[in-house]
Structure 1
Amino acid sequence: MIIVTGGAGFIGSNLVRALNDRGEKDIVLVDHLANGRKMLNLADLEIADYFDKSEFVQKFETPGFLKNIKAVFHQGACSATTEWDGRFVMENNYDYSKRLLDGCIARNAPFLYASSASVYGSGRHGFRVDRRCEHPINMYAYSKFQFDQYVRRLLPETSIPIVGFRYFNVYGPREQHKGAMSSTAYHFNRQVIEQKKARLFEGSDGMADGEQRRDFIHVGDVVDVNLWFWDHPERRGIYNVGTGKAETFNAVAQAVIDWHGEGVIEYIPFPEHLKGAYQSYTQADISGLREAGYEKEFLTVKQGVAKYLDWLNADLANKL
């Protein structure tokens, strides 16, 4: 049996799809479907059972509940970087993760979980998996950082596979339910379809218009990293999951425009509420991944966006 938390979400549902492609169907999916539209991510997936997140963690702490667990892929979290209710965020992201990990240790089950590149804050100290680089600037980032710290303390005392993935800017299929938190590729696609324009922020932090840079990674690559570490249980620890190459928002917008064969870029004022809490530059140091033995090359923005829009616009067409 495999457990996937956040299984109706973006990365979680892609992970379940990949597990199904491997022939895995004995999957327990955990999520919170207050947003019922997330079920659209599940309609083509095969699972054995579903639990709401609150019900599941209570049952998971009960001895004898769910035996012979092959892996727990913990993708569930409150992912809103704009959420400042610290008690709520820590309960959902930190406490919940601790309870799951403790249950995995008791069951001798592999635990693979989603951390976040947001732990690096502004990034002025670098993007290495190193305490000196970690300066979270919002509650979401702090909750992810603090759980990484908990994992660091436990790793020398445990033997089960425990792997944390610091995701950089992930984009790709099955993210449409995220609304404003969906990737820029998703939003640019809608804007070009509806307005023939891709709207980007003006320059910030000394960068020219649209030249803010992020490490954009296709969700298929993220899933592949997850499964590789599951296949290599001797590899433990915390790893950056990005391409290792920062690309501009202009490049993302241009890739969308190129796919459609029409459209222009329009720059809009940088929002006041994001000043001081925005990452203008991210680039993963993936030396840890390479040292662990993961050798696959990642999709570039041009490759990944084209692949994504092939799927996204076919999906939109099917719903018309």
Structure 2
Amino acid sequence: MIVVTGGAGFIGSNLVKGLNDRGLKDILVVDDLSQGDKFKNLLALDIRDYIDKDDFLTALCAGKYDNEAIEAVFHDGACSDTMEYNGKYMMDTNYVYSKELLHFCQRRRIPFIYASSASVYGGGENGFREEPECEWALNVYAFSKLQFDRYVRRVLPDATAQIVGLRYFNVYGPQENHKGKMASVAYHFFHQLKKDGVVRLFKGIEGYGDGEQRRDFVYVKDVVDVNLFFYDNPDKSGIFNCGTGRANTFNAVANAAIKAIGDGKIEYIDFPEMLKGKYQNFTEADPAQLQAAGYNRPFTEPEEAVADYYRYLATGGYLKR
């Protein structure tokens, strides 16, 4: 059996689909369906069972899974809302929960591949390398991810099984409908263009021109491929950037969206006061460690990825069987 936490979420459900495409269906999805429409992310998937995240942790700590044959755990479950300011909730969900699962996997010698975040780099003033001197959280979400990475670093020297942390950069693609305001810009651009033919970007700030803020946008299908690479190579452990290594402007993604739709224009709006000092104007993964681990496959260019993604959005935005 393979366990995927956050398996009804954006990246987790795409990962389950990637496993299904390999013929793997003995999968336990762990998630929280309090937001009921997330069930739609499970419709195209073949899984063994579903369990609520709290019930799973209770059962795990009670020893229910001590004798279960578990091949690997993909831990993508988290609170990913960067605007959530309840630090206790964030740390319980993203840090304490992750530690319990990590130690279970270490006791059982089960590979553990988990979702970290490029948000740990803060403004990126010191670069985007997987090194402490580059890391500085700007919000409690980023801190929860950074603190778990720091904990993993202490465990790694004595690890009994694979531990891989993947620092996701700006991921976009099918199955993110439920994310609302936290969905990718590619998602929002599609709906803006369909509504009134206009993509709205932030005006320039802190030395950046209008729409010229740059992010490392990575297609979710590439993220799945990176996860499966480490699944195929259980001898490789560490914390790795999961991004293309090439920053693209919001203007470039907007133009790719307009091309995919066939019509539209860009409009620039004032930068929100509430985001000043808490916004990453630039992100670009340093791919050196990922490449050193043996992953050298090309990432999908934004124009191709946006066009592919919009084919899903044109029919609702979900994966199909």
Give the aligned partner of residue 278 of structure 2: 277
Helix, strand or coil: the match of 1:288? helix
Do 2:256 and 2:306's aligned partners in 1 also have CA atoms closer than 8 Å? yes
Shift of 1:63: 2.6
Shift of 1:261: 1.3
Describe how 1:129-140 pairs up with structure 2 within 5 A: 129-140=130-141
Looking at structure 2, the residues matched to 184 and 253 of structure 1 have their Cα atoms a distance apart, in angstroms, of: 9
Give the aligned partner of residue 126 of structure 2: 125
Q: What's the CA shift string for 1:252-289, capped at 9, x where partnerless?
A: 11001011111000011100000000000000001001
Helix, strand or coil: the match of 1:76? coil
Shift of 1:316: 6.0
Looking at structure 1, the residues matched to 261 and 88 of structure 2 have their Cα atoms a distance apart, in angstroms, of: 44
* 1:244 partnered with 2:245: yes
Give the aligned partner of residue 21 of structure 1: 21
* 1:2 partnered with 2:2: yes
CA 1:61–1:118 in structure 2 vs 1: closer, same or farther (change >3 Å)?
A: same
Q: What's the CA shift string for 1:103-127, capped at 9, x where partnerless?
A: 1111111000000000000000100
Number of matched pairs: 318
Deviates more, 1:233-242 or 1:306-315: 306-315
Looking at structure 2, the residues matched to 204 and 309 of structure 1 have their Cα atoms a distance apart, in angstroms, of: 29
Looking at structure 1, the residues matched to 94 and 8 of structure 2 have their Cα atoms a distance apart, in angstroms, of: 17
Describe how 1:153-192 pairs up with structure 2 within 5 A: 153-192=154-193
Looking at structure 2, the residues matched to 13 and 24 of structure 1 have their Cα atoms a distance apart, in angstroms, of: 14
Shift of 1:62: 2.5
Give the aligned partner of residue 69 of structure 1: 70
Looking at structure 1, the residues matched to 52 and 214 of structure 2 have their Cα atoms a distance apart, in angstroms, of: 37
Helix, strand or coil: the match of 2:83? coil
Give the aligned partner of residue 51 of structure 2: 51
Looking at structure 1, the residues matched to 127 and 317 of structure 2 have their Cα atoms a distance apart, in angstroms, of: 39
The amino acid of 2:15's aligned partner reads: L
Give the aligned partner of residue 32 of structure 1: 32
Shift of 1:303: 1.4
The amino acid of 1:60's aligned partner reads: L
Looking at structure 2, the residues matched to 62 and 56 of structure 1 have their Cα atoms a distance apart, in angstroms, of: 10
* 1:305 partnered with 2:289: no
Looking at structure 2, the residues matched to 100 and 64 of structure 1 have their Cα atoms a distance apart, in angstroms, of: 13
Residue segments in structure 2 that go unaligned for 5+ positions in a row: none
CA 1:317–1:34 in structure 2 vs 1: closer, same or farther (change >3 Å)?
A: closer
Looking at structure 2, the residues matched to 244 and 302 of structure 1 have their Cα atoms a distance apart, in angstroms, of: 16
Looking at structure 1, the residues matched to 299 and 24 of structure 2 have their Cα atoms a distance apart, in angstroms, of: 25
* 1:83 partnered with 2:84: yes
Across the aligned residues of Structure 1 and Structure 2, the Cα RMSD in angstroms comes to 1.2
Looking at structure 2, the residues matched to 188 and 194 of structure 1 have their Cα atoms a distance apart, in angstroms, of: 10
Looking at structure 1, the residues matched to 205 and 224 of structure 2 have their Cα atoms a distance apart, in angstroms, of: 32
Do 2:41 and 2:318's aligned partners in 1 also have CA atoms closer than 8 Å? no
Looking at structure 2, the residues matched to 246 and 129 of structure 1 have their Cα atoms a distance apart, in angstroms, of: 17
Do 2:5 and 2:12's aligned partners in 1 also have CA atoms closer than 8 Å? yes
Looking at structure 1, the residues matched to 38 and 64 of structure 2 have their Cα atoms a distance apart, in angstroms, of: 30
Q: Structure 1 segments of 4 or more deviating over 4 A?
A: none
Q: What's the CA shift string for 1:127-162, capped at 9, x where partnerless?
A: 000000000110000000000011000001113010
Residue segments in structure 1 that go unaligned for 5+ positions in a row: none
Looking at structure 1, the residues matched to 54 and 318 of structure 2 have their Cα atoms a distance apart, in angstroms, of: 36
Looking at structure 1, the residues matched to 52 and 26 of structure 2 have their Cα atoms a distance apart, in angstroms, of: 17
